[in-house]
Amino acid sequence: MPALSIGEEAFELDGAPFRIISGALHYFRVHPGLWRDRMEKARALGLNTLETYVAWNFHSRRPGEFDLTRWRDLGAFLDLAAELGLHTIVRPGPYICAEWRNAGLPTWLTSRPGIRVRTSDPIYLRGVAEFYAHVLPLVAGRQITRGGNVLMVQVENEYGAYGDDKAYLRTLVDLVRAEGIDVPLMTCDQANDEHLSRGSLPELFTAGTFGSRSLERLETLRRYQPTGPLMCAEYWNGWFDSWGQHHHTTTFDEAARDLDDLLGTGASVNLYMLHGGTNFGLMNGANDKGVYVPITTSYDYDAPLREDGSPGPKFAAFRDVIARHAAIADAAPLPFTAAPAFTVPLHRGPAWTGASDGPGIRFDHLPNGDEVDAEAFFWRYATDVGPDAGALAFGEVRDHALCFLDGVNIGTLYRHHRERTLRLPEGTGGRLEILVADLGRVNYGSRLGESKGLIGPATSRDADLTDWQAHGVDLDRALDLARNADTEPLDPRRPIGGPVLLRATFEASGAADLFLATGGWGRGVVWINGFLLGRYWSTGPTRTLYVPAPLLREGANELVVWELAGAPEPEVRFVSHPDLGHTEP
């Protein structure tokens, strides 16, 4: 069987020099019905390899559960790439960053008391070993050494930005090898001395990550990869978007020049991203470097292939560069085609805050969300307050709290505003209910794995509040309530207030993608035909949600919205083009 080896000057594939020209394509961010389309466009760009992370929490929502079927069928993804003549690089972490919820780590794991992630902590390593035991055998069977297309497997991910425990890295190597992985193993770190010295192992292939000044970065990398090929494992050709900020773009000509410089040295490359895709199902991550900033549902990344898979300006520019360094046999893909545009009226369903799910679990203290249900995206808290409470203060709110007194909305608290004090009506006691939303689990830095929900203590003007009931909100129940409730048409001239479940049906052809406009809505989540599409928020920048064609049915389709704030018009608009928001001038 052929094998990839690390030669003195280059990669060698079956004994012949080989340069990796790769692009990142995350199976968990692209509907499986569109994998082939994106892969064919990768070939048309001139790529010979695809790279993907493996998101542990995409496969394991609960302890003891692991799913490798349908959308989660990593083996099918790798096989399809092989069918199309593409090699693959697999990066199973366990930490992946990737602007993905909790950096791919399951919250049922990171919520365990005392756990120390990304270390030699036995509790953490037992979980990692179980993860590897599920996923790596199917990778092992598809290695190039066994007739498959997997060239390399990565150990950890940019570990030098987090720690320097070489024993931990070597334990991961042992765990990976124990599952039958015999292709070269690699590490990657940002191409600076600090990170490369901390995160690499001399016995493994060392790659760098960067998005500019390619020649300078490669010189730095050479100090840690003294012989053999050089590789940029993440050539950052764009950037991700965060709620409340602008839509990030970079100029295609500058990115193309840096790529040309990189390839001109003979180095290998992995474009991050080839195609970003979408953070479906509320699986976006967040950053917190002093200010909490959650990632948008769109992961367009200003990549060569846009969120909907159409070629952007970087596609043509990069294709021209790659053609100067490698042969390209496939024709360029067709340009973007406008989507169907139409408007659909919404029907009102029940007002809903999760209270009908039941009283929940009783606690003698204010529990954080992970104590209640670590895998939830929303939590409902309830307690009684007296008429002299006056105000209520929490240790912290993570991340967005809607507060109700006897069913009346009395305020909203936002984490990114550092709000944690709620004013209560004077002389009015009653049942206090708080609906808390997780806007995104931190995926980078020291706050990785932090708890969500309300963080105690909870104090009022006249007492500490220690008697609480809480539960994780069941989003499947919300969908069922919207589907089965008697709905009423809404006056198109009148605004609607939330939290409320709304429903609409519309006709569509399954052959075309759609773009759901959200610019007039407040904040909430959307389902299409029972699939949790994602989160929207009026703070922007994103003003549309991408609806992949495979989610749609010929004829009648169902849309459900859980609007938490309100909207000026009770209608749904599908528009012809995506609107990812304003950019910096």
Q: How many CA atoms lie within 13 A of 26 on its CB side?
A: 27
Question: What's the CA gap between 379 and 354, in Å, rounded?
Answer: 8
| Residue 234 annotated in active site | yes
Q: Of these residues, 99, 156, 158, 450, which one is catalytic?
A: 158
> What is the mean pLDDT of the segment spanning 328-352?
93
* Phi/psi of residue 16, nearest 5 degrees: -105, 145
Residues 6 or more apart in contact with residue 122 via CB below 8 angstroms: none
Query: What's the pLDDT tens digit per position in 362-393?
Result: 999 999 999 999 999 999 999 999 998 889 99
Catalytic-labelled residue, pool 156, 234, 433, 569:
234
Return the structure tokens found at 136.
């790596």
pLDDT value at residue 463: 87
Catalytic status, residue 307: no
Domains of the chain in sequence order: 19-323 (3.20.20.80), 342-350+476-575 (2.60.120.260), 355-473 (2.60.120.260)
Q: Which two tokens stand for residue 232?
A: 């940029």
Q: What is the C-alpha to C-alpha distance for residues 183 and 504, in angstroms, rounded to an integer? A: 51
In percent, the amount of the chain with pLDDT more than 70 equals: 100
pTM higher than 0.95, yes or no?
Answer: yes
- 216-251 pLDDT, tens digit per residue, is 999 999 999 999 999 999 999 999 999 999 999 999
Structure token pair of residue 526: 């959307």
Residue 291 banded pLDDT, cuts 50, 70, 90: very high
pLDDT digits (tens, 9 = 90+) for 455-467: 999 999 888 999 9
Under DSSP, the state recorded for 69 is S
Residue 356 has pLDDT above 80, yes or no: no
Q: Which amino acid is at 343?
A: T
According to DSSP, the β-strands at 49-53 and 87-91 are parallel
| Residue 39 near residue 25, CB atoms below 8 Å | yes
Separation of alpha carbons 18 and 229, rounded Å: 10
Q: Which pLDDT band holds residue 359 (cuts at 50, 70, 90)?
A: confident
Q: How confident is the model at residue 582 (pLDDT cuts 50, 70, 90)?
A: very high
CA distance 580 to 175: 41
Helix, strand, coil abundance in the chain, percent, nearest 5: 25, 30, 45
Question: What stretch of H or E contains 567?
Answer: strand 566-567
pLDDT at 585 over 70: no
Please state, as a whole number, how many other Cβ atoms lie within 10 Å of the Cβ of residue 359: 11
Do 348 and 440 meet the contact criterion of CB atoms below 8 Å apart? no
| CA 26/CA 35 separation, integer angstroms | 9
Q: How many residues does the chain have?
A: 585
Which of 48-57, 113-122, 344-353 is predicted least confidently?
A: 344-353
Q: Is the pLDDT of residue 305 over 80?
A: yes
Calculate mean pLDDT across residues 392-399: 96
CA distances, 428 to each of 37, 355, 409, 432 (Å): 60, 21, 14, 11
Mean of the per-residue pLDDT values of the chain? 95
